[in-house]
Amino acid sequence: MPSGPPKEPSNIALRFGRELRKRREDAGYSQERVARYCGISASLVSSVERAARKPSISMAKSLDALFGLDDVFVRLADALSKERLAVGGPDWFQAWVGEIEPSASIIRCWDPLLITGLLQTEEYARAVISGDLTPTAEVDGRVHARMVRQTVLDREYPPELWVLLDEGALRRLIGTRKIMADQLDRILCRADMPEVTVQVVPSGAATTVGMMSGFIIAEGDGPTAVSIESAGRGEVSTEADLVSALWRRCDRLRAEAMRAIDSLQLIKEVRDEWNK
């Protein structure tokens, strides 16, 4: 489990939440009424007021219209979406880590080469980022951002996380043998959470649909979104055809994956090998 408390919400998120609560209460509106007007759930309104989740631009526009304001909420949401979580992080990923992933209720991950970022230890992440031609001055910021991103799993009501891991990622040396053993321990700890399911796609699996790139599928109150990352570029999209294509890949990979209980046993065995 990660050490230390989750990162506190940003000042902008807190200001947005306070502004929404004040405007709503002054108008005598319930959270349910605001939610109906915005076309979202009352639980999302509550989470935004508590700065537990970040508002979308579309929600901000609806709030400005509801309260007759001149882009008050839109400006706050825009500033929030532009908040940088890391020095040198790719621009295409900012919307994902700043808005989409924190508001997701179900997250599905696949990576054919590495342990997915939401399960990485700090040492493993540092070894990966340092070896990715990242300028030395940016490494600490990138590692910190990855650790902050994981606090989504430490919320009172975390999202469901379905992780597909390639067996090769368990056996590929990243950093040192101790880093690998600690990394597999982290996976086992996270897998003890009722919201987290980890399955291993064995090396002998017949499917090749996921070999070209990793992806993440996030479901929430809005449209299902996907994040795809490959060498040199990445993409975040809600395009229906792309989402559907990745769903099919995910289903094919799960069909080839080991059962969760067998996957955890394999992870324990490989961890013990790294510890020798």
Return the beta strands (E) in the chain as ranges.
106-111, 160-166, 196-201, 214-219, 225-230, 233-237
- Measure the CA–CA gap between 188 and 198, rounded to whole angstroms: 9
Q: In the chain, what are the domains?
A: 11-81 (1.10.260.40), 91-275 (3.30.870)
Query: Which pLDDT does position 5 carry in this prediction?
Result: 39
pLDDT at position 85, please? 46
pLDDT at 79: 78
Which of 213, 212, 232, 111 lies closest to 162 in space, CA to CA?
111
Tokens representing residue 76 in the block: 């706050």
Q: What is the pLDDT of residue 160?
A: 96
Q: Which residue has the tokens 């109906």?
A: 36
Q: Which residues contact 190 (CB under 8 A, 6 or more apart)?
A: 1, 119, 153, 161, 196, 198
Q: CA 66, CA 63: separation in Å to the nearest integer?
A: 5
pLDDT number for residue 2: 37
pLDDT per residue, tens digit, the chain (276 aa), is 333 334 455 678 888 999 999 999 999 999 999 999 999 999 999 999 998 887 888 899 999 999 999 999 998 887 776 554 443 455 557 667 777 888 899 999 999 999 999 999 999 999 999 887 767 777 888 888 888 888 889 888 899 999 999 999 999 999 999 999 999 999 999 999 999 999 999 998 877 777 778 999 999 888 899 999 766 567 888 999 999 999 999 999 999 999 999 999 999 999 999 999
pLDDT, residue 27, reads 96
Q: Which secondary-structure segment (H or E) carries 76?
A: helix 72-81
Distance CA 208, CA 213 (A): 11
